[in-house]
Structure formats: C-alpha cells, structure tokens
Amino acid sequence: MSRKAFVTLLTKISYLPGVLVLAHGLKSVGSKYPLVVMVTPTLEVDARNILEKSSIEMYSIHALMPESSRHSVADHDARFRDTWTKLRAFGLKGFERVVLLDADMLIKRNMDELLEMPLAQDEIAAAHVCACNPMKLVHYPADWIPANCAHTAVEGPLGLPPAWTPTSPRPYGQLNSGTVVMNPSPALGEAIIHYLNTENLESFAFPDQDLLSAFFKGKWKPLPWYYNALKTLRVIHPQLWSDDEIRCLHYILKDKPWEARIPIVSGPFDGVHEWWWKEFDEMASDLDLQSRDKVLSLVDTSKAN
C-alpha cells in the first residue's frame, strides 16, 4: 500500500537531537503525515531505542558513497561525506510521495501541501541554493556571487523564485537538497545510483545536491525559499526574509544549534538558534526519564537557564 511521508536520514547518534526536534515540529504544526527516519547499520542502539520509544518509524538502508578516487570533499565540508546516503530516499518502497528533509531543520508552519502538490513522476521540487558565498571560500564555484544567486532576484517574502532558462546564470539551475519533494520508486533509485557510479563527479562541490541538480536538469520545480529557509538568508537576503513566512528553517553551516545553547561568541544567527532550543525543550519534556538523560548528554546545555 502506497503512502506519503516526510523522510530524513540518521547515521549517527550525534544528530539524534535534530531528528527528534524535526519530528516534534511536524506534530506541533498539525501535520497529518509521519516522519520516517532512514537509518544505516552504523546507528547506535541507544538512538534506535529512543526513536522507537518516541513512536518514530525507522526504515533500514545501507550507506551510499562513491569510491574515494572518484570524489572527495574539501576538509571544510567534511560533514558532507555522509550526504550521498540521502539519495537512498529515491528508491524507497511503498511510498507514492516523499518530502526528504535534512535533520538540522526546524518546522515552523504546516507544509503538508508539499505532499499533495502536482508533480510528474520524473520530477522533483526543491528550493535554490544560495550562491552568494559571503565567506569567500576559495573551494566554492567561481560563479557563486550575489549577482548569480537566484534568491537575489526574489522581491519580497512571497516573491516567486526565478525560472531557469538556457541563458540564466548557472546557479539558477542548482538546488539545495535540504528539502526535496519526490515520487520514489525502486527504478528511480537504481537510475540515480547508476548515475552516481558512472558520471564524472569531480565538478560536484556539494555531493548529493550537485548530482540531483544535474540528474533532474529541466525536471525540478523551484520551491519558494520558505520551504528551505537557509538561516543565512536572514542576513544575506533580507529583502525576501520574513520570520512569519518560514515553513522549514534550515540550520546550514557547521555550527548546529545543539552544539551550544548560548554561543561563546555572539553571532547573527543566535536568534534563530534560540527557536530550535525552544522546540527542543518542549520535545525533551515529552521523553521518558532515561531517554531524556541520554538526549541531554548529546547537546550542550552547560549555559542553560
């Protein structure tokens, strides 16, 4: 029997707080669809037990990664090495529609419409990358500049993302894989893995999302920014940002909210990190004592009030 669900990936217990907050957020906004967690054999028993006690469904998969000789990521982006495994979502059995979400996300408004939107069998929907590269990282693509960023072209919080044309800047055709709407099938999953194993991956700076941008070129619908509200957009693209319009907030970059309740050095994203901690506190209060103690050991609450 086919069904619909939000799906995320968990390969190690350190990201369990993120998954639990994601699941709690979906319930808090009244979603009628469950969160299904893809888990690999590397996931610790403690994490599995807590997911089970929290009535969060697990779906067992195997890790996915190309041979090291075919692709590598910069040391700065070492956290991306696991993200190839997200591609397993495209081959999930028993689902007619899936919304793949990263574990470092916070649900702010109901977005069940993504599981009901028109989407051809061979299409996906996703939001654009932000191609501004404000930190001027040298290993990022040379054409990642504000003038080429699709978000720069959006006027106002409810403005529509620009459509890609053959004359558009290259980043107009690049998606961020934090939120991806898809119609999974074993055949599609096999086609993507074949592409992974046979295509030249050297130009892929961001593993899974560069592959998806290439594989679904001309076949992905741009979603508005607020379905994958990169926390950096609040600073880089204030013309489109509105706290009230966010459906799903994405805590990109290396510093995850659970790593510091109150950062040692104040920064521009402290406010949105506080939102995550508010959801975390509500989620943790629903856990049994043993689970709560374990989850608290995975986060930095040393400066909690």
Q: Give me the CATH number covering residue 80.
A: 3.90.550.10
With respect to residue 151, please indicate whether it lies within any of the assigned structural domains: no
46 vs 294: CA distance, rounded Å: 8
Q: Which two tokens stand for residue 295?
A: 């989850």
Does some domain include residue 149?
A: no
19: in domain: yes
Please return the burial class of 273, using the count of CB atoms within 10 Å of its CB with bins 0-12, 13-18 and 19+: buried
DSSP state of 219: -
Taking Cα atoms as reference points, which of 145, 147, 127 lies closest to residue 137?
145
Q: Is residue 302 part of a domain?
A: no
**166's tokens:** 């053959």
What the block records as the tokens of 147 is 């003038």
Residue 77: what pLDDT? Answer: 43
- pLDDT of amino acid 304: 43
Please tell me the total count of domains within the chain.
Answer: 1
Q: Closest Cα to residue 222, out of 174, 178, 166, 182?
A: 174
Residue among 237, 252, 244, 271 at smallest CA distance from 109: 244
pTM for the structure as a whole: 0.94
Helix 186-198 to helix 207-215 angle, to the nearest 10 degrees? 110
Q: Which residues of the chain have pLDDT under 70?
A: 1, 67-81, 302-305
Domain holding 95, by residue range, is 3-130+176-296
Token code pair at residue 176:
């961020």
Question: Which amino acid makes up residue 189?
Answer: G
Instruction: Dump strand ranges (E) for the chain.
Output: 3-10, 35-39, 57-60, 95-101, 105-107, 124-128, 175-182, 220-222, 229-230, 248-250
Is 59 inside any structural domain?
yes
With H, G, I as helix, E, B as strand and everything else as coil, classify residue 116: coil
Structural domain includes residue 305: no
- Distance linking the first and last C-alpha atoms of the chain: 47
**146 within domain boundaries:** no
Q: Does 303 fall in a domain?
A: no
